Amino acid sequence: MSQEFDHIVVGAGSAGCVLANRLTEDGARRVLLIEAGGSDASPFHAMPLGFMAAMADPAKDWGYATEPEPHLDGRRVPLPRGRVLGGCSTTNGMIYMRGHSGDYDEWRDLGCPGWGYDDVLPYFRKMETSWRGPGPYHGGDGPLTVSPVSHPWLRIDQIMESAAAAGFPMSEDLSGDRQEGFALSEVTVDRRGRRASAARAYLRPALKRPNLHLVTHAQVTRILFDGNRAVGVEYRRDGALHQSRATRDVILSGGSYNSPQLLMLSGIGPAAHLRDQGIEVRVDNPGVGGNLSEHPLVYGEFAVTGDTFLRQLRLDRAALSVLRWALLGSGPFASQVTSCAALIRTLPELTRPDIQLMVMPVRLDAKIWAPGLGKRLADMFSVMVIQLHPESRGRVSLRSADPDDKVRVQLNLLSHERDYAELRRGIRALRTLFGAGPLGQLAGRETKPGAHCQSDADLDAFIRANLRITQHPVGTCRMGTGDDAVVDPQLRVIGVENLRVVDASIMPTVPGGNTNAPVIMVAEKAADLIRRS
Ligand SMILES: Cc1cc2nc3c(=O)[nH]c(=O)nc-3n(C[C@H](O)[C@H](O)[C@H](O)COP(=O)(O)OP(=O)(O)OC[C@H]3O[C@@H](n4cnc5c(N)ncnc54)[C@H](O)[C@@H]3O)c2cc1C
């Protein structure tokens, strides 16, 4: 194909689907959306509790992992990334969270005028249809449906009562005027019990428009330039190379690992690194691929008396639940298992939460089971302890100039003492929760980290050996105005014309919560910026 479009969007993930919809809605522009992956039609992508299977499908994933992490005893950390329509929003855990107002004011203060909380709140409202109905903090008619989790087997009341008894603040709405405390989890699941991925919410309704052209199974290999101006892209499909042209701009929405990769393959990045790979330097920008930030997490686990969600995973019950979901869009498989989400401050002097707790009434290694086939596993509750504002920074770099070579990712997790200290305080907060109220009665043995793990040194050893990540990478094409900024606050790549980046990679710092909603907000705002330019 060698057609001409107004805009070419690379990547149909969370951000790319939003752009494809918003840039074509008035019919005035022709948009080409190019996605390396394919269809999202699998039931595992639609059924919320199918998310573990959706994440584990290697055919729909880029198959990344970190280099050996120097502060994790050389461990490689897996980095799942959706390679499918909807990108990671098709394979993610569906938790809906925006973070704290201070997270966006921090962006503004880091050289991103127009991105403070008051500036971005209208876009958070515009994008959603909240179960809460429209109001000053919520939207009532946006494409993305946000629903509460609410099922008796999630033990929500017991968890909330324990949090209150332990003295934690409670929140009616973590996206409202008090973005701190224990709250009911919210998920991007629609009224029919289907995952509200960006593909389902934004892309599908736009596909019937004649001015939107989607190409799947097509991997963009480089950006085409005329002098200093981006004029199109080259992509590979069915083994053949194609080119498409954009008269207005090329927009990279390949995510935090692939957008910097494409910039570097096209000669925009740290000059010495590009030369090492044999790539001609177009713009020397050391910021490309740097500033990589990710939320570290450790799991806590407690044996409990009484049933947990494991009961719902017995083969016969699970089969009925799948049927119920398919026919009625309800039941245990129509939602997530994270009962409560909490954003807490572990020190009173902090100005915003530093730890997120995600409480699940089920053990970590739970799966479908059948009586008579092996021993029934013991009932446990598990909790993710997530550090919201890590200091450690990593980098994405090229392994070679071959677009098929996976990027090299070094997260440098735990390279700062503050990251240990905050996770230690998070684990101690978790113990406070499980020692209070109904959970105090219910919870028996602490299996993770384990009662023996008390001193700072013990906890640090546990953290080092067990650290995982939430899969919220951001920052590798940082927006800003300084020397290492990659895009300006209009999301235009600095040093060239007609090229933008719109995805998680532009965030200067990681928001204090899950990142899908912030990415969609970024893309909603970007669409307005682009339409006005
Ligand atoms: C396992 C997992 C669980 C998560 N859980 C949650 C959660 O519960 N809640 C939450 O808020 N967030 C969660 N996240 C994070 C959230 O989903 C991401 O932050 C968000 O989806 C990132 O959006 P993006 O547009 O930046 O990138 P992506 O959604 O990754 O989109 C990038 C798209 O570009 C395509 N692409 C890349 N390179 C090319 C190329 N060269 N040519 C063509 N196409 C290309 C990719 O295939 C992909 O479709 C999770 C993420 C993962 C991986």
Select the more confidently predicted residue: 294 or 373: 294
Q: Is the pLDDT of residue 2 over 80?
A: no
The pLDDT assigned to 60 comes to: 95
Q: Tens digits of per-residue pLDDT, 152-179?
A: 788 899 999 999 999 999 999 999 999 9
Confirm if 502 and 488 have CB atoms less than 8 A apart.
no
Cα–ligand 1 centroid distance for 474 (angstroms): 11
- pLDDT tens by residue, 31-83: 999 999 999 999 999 999 988 887 788 999 999 999 999 999 999 999 999 99
3-state SS class at 226: strand
Q: How far is the CA of 82 from the centre of ligand 1 (A)?
A: 6
Q: Quote the pLDDT of residue 514.
A: 98
Q: What is the pLDDT of residue 1?
A: 45
Residue 451 pLDDT level (bands cut at 50, 70, 90): very high
Q: Whose CA is nearest to atom 9 of ligand 1?
A: 95
Mean pLDDT of 474-496: 96
User: Is the per-residue pLDDT at 125 higher than 50?
Assistant: yes
Write the residue with the smallest CA distance to atom 12 of ligand 1.
Answer: 516
Contacting residues for 494 by C-beta, under 8 A, at least 6 apart: 283, 285, 485, 486, 487, 488
In whole numbers, what is the pLDDT of the chain averaged over residues?
Answer: 96
- Average pLDDT (14-22) is 99
Predicted confidence at residue 53, as pLDDT, reads 82
> Closest Cα partner for 64 from 83, 49, 40?
83
Strand, coil or helix: 496: coil
Is the peptide bond between 148 and the residue preceding it cis, with omega within 30 degrees of 0? no
Task: Report the alpha-carbon distance of residue 254 to residue 8 in Å, rounded.
Answer: 12
Query: Which ligand 1 atom sits nearest the alpha carbon of residue 523?
Result: 25
Q: Is the pLDDT of residue 8 over 70?
A: yes
3-state secondary structure 10-27: ECCCHHHHHHHHHHHCCC
Question: Which pair of tokens denotes residue 242?
Answer: 């194609």
472 an active-site residue? yes
Q: Which one from 213, 242, 273, 472 is the annotated catalytic residue?
A: 472
- φ, ψ at 302 (rounded to 5°): -130, 130
Mean pLDDT of 99-111: 98
Strands in 152-239 per DSSP E: 181-184, 186-187, 212-215, 218-226, 229-237
Residue 19 pLDDT more than 50? yes
Query: Which of 150-164, 240-254, 354-368 shows the lowest per-residue confidence on average (mean pLDDT)?
Result: 150-164
pLDDT for position 54 = 79
pLDDT of residue 319: 96
Which residue has the least CA distance to atom 38 on ligand 1?
A: 254
- Pairing outcome for strands 283-284 and 268-269: parallel
Ligand 1 nearest-atom number relative to CA 403: 41
Ligand 1 contacts (CB < 6 A) are 10-16, 34-37, 55, 80-83, 87-89, 91-95, 219-220, 253-255, 258, 262, 471-472, 503-504, 514-517, 519
pLDDT band at 229 (very low <50, low <70, confident <90, very high): very high
Conformation bin of residue 19: beta by default, left when phi > 0, alpha when psi is -120 to 50: alpha
Q: Given this model, what pLDDT does residue 152 score?
A: 79
Q: What is the mean pLDDT of residues 505-533?
A: 98
